[in-house]
Amino acid sequence: MASTAPDPTTTTTVAAQAIDAVKVYGSGATEVRALDGVTVGFDTARFTAIMGPSGSGKSTLLHCVAGLDTLTSGRVLVGETDLGTLGDRDLTRLRRDRLGFVFQAFNLVPTLTALENITLPDALAGRKPDQEWLDQVIDTVGLRDRLGHRPSELSGGQQQRVAVARALANRPEIVFADEPTGNLDSRAGREILDFMGRAVRDLDQTIVMVTHDPVAAGYADRVIFLGDGRVVDEMHEPTAERVLDRLKQLGD
């Protein structure tokens, strides 16, 4: 699953990376350089958090690496696949078969039950889910007794747990999460972060998470700081306090 990426800055294998990534919105006077030459790799089986002030390009970076959006220039590799060479059909397949997603809100299809939502990517691919793994994931997020419920019958926290389960269900190479706890109270948020942390430690999952919450970042193995579309810093084995300190420094 891991690739021997030609990135000289790391020694471990890299699940995905952006090289000289530039993303420009608009043109002329209204031009916004949301990404301004970002080079970054996300290690396999690690939990990476992306932080930075609002508007610094966090979501844009995540979307581009996850194949939801395309770069203005630069490259994105998922494993050894260069996303720039893929058309819409192949990008869609890549997302379906090799990636998982958790968004801040609107994660679930309202007409499907929790279980159907979890197995949605497999169903779209016309595959039978791996039952053993599925059981493991469902038990990990603790949803066994809610599987037949529709999203409207679940709390916000439960909905996000279903979303995490869906993201993990087809054993993706990477799970991308954009502010997955942004809409939750702190207890429900902690639960979600716990599950994600466990998925990385116990199940060797790779996770990339955008957050503006230092506590959330504290669950990660590594934090990348963005500012004005550039990587301005990074931190290994972060804690909430250290992240908060660093944010304060960066803010000055």
Partner 1 sequence: MWTLTVKGLLAHKLRLAATGLAVVLGVAFMSGTMVVTDTIGRTFDDLFATVYDNTDAHVRSAESVEVGFGMTDRERIEAGVLDTVLAVEGVAHAEGLVEGYTQIVGADGEPVGDPGMGAPTFGINWPERGELNPFDLAEGRAPERAGEVAIDRGSARRGDLAVGDTTTAVTQAGVVPVTIVGIVTFGGADSPGGASFTAFTHDEAQRLLAEPGRYSYIDVIAEPGVSEEELRRRLVAALPGDLEVLTGSEIIAEEQDVMREGMAFFNTFLLTFALIALFVGAFIIHNTFSIIVAQRTREMALLRAVGASRRQVLLSVLGEALAMALGASAVGVAAGVAVAAGLRALLAGFGIDLPEGGIVLSAGTVAAAMTAGVAVTMVSAVLPARRASRVPPIAAMREVAVDTSSRSRLRIVVGLLVLAAGVLLLAAGLAAPDAATVGGGAAVTFIGVAALGPVIAGPVSRVIGAPLPRLRGITGALARENALRNPKRTAATASALMIGVGLVSFITIFGESAKASIDRILRDAFVGDLVIDSGSFGFGGLPTELAPRVEAVEGVAAAVSLRGGPVELAGETTFLAAADPVRLEQVMDLEVTAGDLSALADDGIAVSRQVADGEGWAVGDVVPARFARTGSQELRVAAIYERREAAGDRFISLAAHERHFEDRFDMVVMVAFEPGADRDAVRRAVEAVAADYPTATVQDLGQYVEAQAAQLDAILGLVTVLLALAVLIALLGITNTLALSVFERTRELGLLRAVGMTREQLRALVRWESLLIALLGTAMGLAVGLFFGWGLVRSLAGEGFTELVVPAGSLLVIVVVAAVAGVLAAVPPARRAARLDVLRAVTVE
Ligand X SMILES: Nc1ncnc2c1ncn2[C@@H]1O[C@H](COP(=O)(O)OP(=O)(O)O)[C@@H](O)[C@H]1O
Q: Which stretch binds ligand X (CB under 6 A): 26-34, 105-113, 122-130, 144-152?
A: 26-34
Select from 242, 201, 197, 200 the least CA-distant residue to 223: 242
* Residue 101 binding partner 1, by CB under 8 A: yes
Q: For ligand X, which residue of 1, 20, 25, 198 counts as binding (CB under 6 A)?
A: 25
Helix H or strand E encompassing 215: helix 214-217
Kindly state whether residue 211 participates in binding ligand X, applying the rule CB under 6 A.
no
Q: Enumerate residues 142-181 that contact partner 1 by CB under 8 A.
A: 152, 166, 178-179
Which helix (H) or strand (E) segment is 117 a member of?
helix 114-118
- Pick one of 46, 58, 98, 246: the residue that binds ligand X (CB under 6 A): 58
Q: Exactly one of 9, 27, 29, 89 binds partner 1 (CB under 8 A); which one? A: 89
Closest-CA residue to 33 (of 49, 56, 51):
56
Q: Which does 126 bind (CB under 5 to 8 A by kind): ligand X, partner 1, Mg ion, none?
A: partner 1
32 binds ligand X (CB under 6 A): yes
Q: What are phi and psi of 228, to 5 degrees?
A: 50, 40
Among ligand X, partner 1, Mg ion, none, the one that 96 touches (CB under a kind-dependent 5 to 8 A) is: partner 1
**107 is an interface residue for partner 1 by CB under 8 A:** yes
DSSP per residue over 133-175, as a string?
Answer: HHHHHHHHHT-GGGTT--GGGS-HHHHHHHHHHHHHHT--SEE
Both tokens of 186, joined, read 């702190």
Which residues of this protein are in contact with ligand X, per CB under 6 A? 25-26, 32, 34, 52, 54-60
